[in-house]
């Protein structure tokens, strides 16, 4: 199976309005589209792992281009045992 994955990241550009007001535009935009080829299960695992790597990068994330695949991912994730979800999210980290 081949799935298209979008990488979103903040624009982080300085913008000046017509009134002279300057601000930093941090809206997320799609920076690139990648194709992942593997089984559906492996793509879901990779998607989860890649997004967890970006969890502290404000505005950065991966998204499925196809909403139907995203809905299948959500169903798959919700079907996992809570202890498996916990392990996927925290990995080998220590939780107080």
Using the predicted structure, report yes or no on whether residue 96 has a pLDDT greater than 60. no
- Which H or E run includes 69? helix 67-79
Confidence of residue 64 (pLDDT cuts 50, 70, 90): very high
Name the residue range of residue 43's domain: 2-89
> How many folded domains does the chain comprise?
1
Would you say residue 48 lies in a domain? yes
Q: What is the DSSP letter of 37?
A: E
Residue the block writes with tokens 């990488």? 7
Confidence of residue 19 (pLDDT cuts 50, 70, 90): very high
Using the predicted structure, report yes or no on whether residue 54 has a pLDDT greater than 80. yes
DSSP, collapsed to helix, strand or coil, labels residue 7 as strand
Would you say residue 25 lies in a domain? yes
CA dist., res. 75 & res. 80, Å (int): 9
Would you say residue 95 lies in a domain? no
Query: Which residue has better confidence, 22 or 52?
Result: 22
Q: Which of 18-22, 27-31, 89-93 has the lowest mean pLDDT?
A: 89-93
CA dist., res. 89 & res. 77, Å (int): 11
């Amino acid at each position: 199976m081949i799935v298209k994955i979008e990488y979103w990241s903040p624009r982080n550009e300085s913008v000046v309005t017509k009134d002279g007001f300057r601000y930093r535009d941090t809206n997320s935009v799609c920076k690139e589209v990648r194709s992942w080829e593997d089984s559906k299960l492996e793509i879901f695992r990779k998607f989860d792992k890649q997004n967890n790597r970006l969890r502290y990068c404000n505005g950065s994330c991966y998204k499925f281009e196809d909403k139907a695949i995203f809905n299948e991912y959500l169903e798959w994730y919700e079907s996992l045992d809570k202890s498996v979800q916990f392990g996927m999210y925290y990995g080998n980290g220590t939780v107080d």
